[in-house]
């Protein structure tokens, strides 16, 4: 092997090693403070509108308009086609809401029942849910706690297209 070929191989190896070292030291872009975007959009008369994936094409959006009055409301896509999923919620106290969500595809779970409670001081939101299969068996239990973040300004939501 000539000196020139050996030097070229050494330079390539050094470049690859430097690249591997620098990529290993690259900061994980997921690390940091993340705040969920504002949730429901309130429409008046106790109605709310939830829109998931608002920037997706309409057929891939998920929209629900309803009230927490115990009635069952259907999720639709951005063009108004029902997905088969439903949500029912009701207030059981001044700071507590119970809900039942049905999942149409039932591949992982069929229903989710849960309770959301805001602490008396208004600074903590507790969310507890149980996902069940079609036979009523528990698939998973979820328990989350959220702290109020008033240090971040609320973002204005763009008006969502009304399904036909």
Quickly count: other Cβ atoms within 10 Å of residue 75's Cβ: 22
- What band does 141 get if pLDDT is binned at 50, 70 and 90? very high
* Burial degree of 147 (CB within 10 A; 0-12, 13-18, 19+): exposed
- Res 108: pLDDT: 85
- Res 37: pLDDT: 52
| Nearest by Cα to 46 from 68, 63, 74, 71 | 68
- Res 41: pLDDT: 64
Q: Identify the weakest region by mean pLDDT among 53-57, 84-88, 131-135, 147-151.
A: 147-151
Q: Please give the Cα distance from 130 to 138 (Å, whole number).
A: 7
pLDDT in tens, 105-125: 888 889 999 999 988 888 888
The answer to whether 113 touches 94, Cβ cutoff 8 Å, is no
- Res 31: pLDDT: 57
Sequence-distant (6+) residues with CB within 8 A of 122 are 148
Q: Identify the weakest region by mean pLDDT among 99-113, 115-129, 148-162.
A: 148-162
Is 65's pLDDT higher than 80? yes
Q: Which residue has the higher pLDDT, 96 or 5?
A: 96
- What band does 43 get if pLDDT is binned at 50, 70 and 90? low
């Amino acid at each position: 092997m000539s000196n020139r070929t050996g030097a070229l191989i050494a330079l390539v190896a050094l470049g690859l090693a430097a690249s591997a070292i620098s990529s290993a030291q690259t900061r994980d872009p997921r690390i940091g403070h993340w705040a969920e975007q504002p949730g429901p959009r309130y429409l008046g008369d106790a109605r709310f509108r939830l829109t998931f994936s608002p920037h997706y094409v309409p057929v891939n959006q998920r929209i629900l308009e309803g009230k927490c009055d115990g009635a069952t409301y259907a999720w639709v896509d951005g063009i108004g086609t029902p997905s088969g999923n439903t949500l029912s919620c009701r207030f059981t106290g001044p700071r507590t809401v119970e809900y039942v969500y049905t999942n149409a595809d039932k591949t992982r779970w069929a229903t989710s029942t849960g309770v959301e409670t805001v602490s008396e001081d208004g600074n903590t939101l507790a969310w507890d849910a149980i996902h069940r299969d079609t036979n009523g068996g528990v698939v998973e239990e979820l328990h989350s706690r959220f702290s109020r973040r008033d240090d971040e300004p609320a973002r204005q939501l763009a008006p969502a297209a009304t399904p036909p």
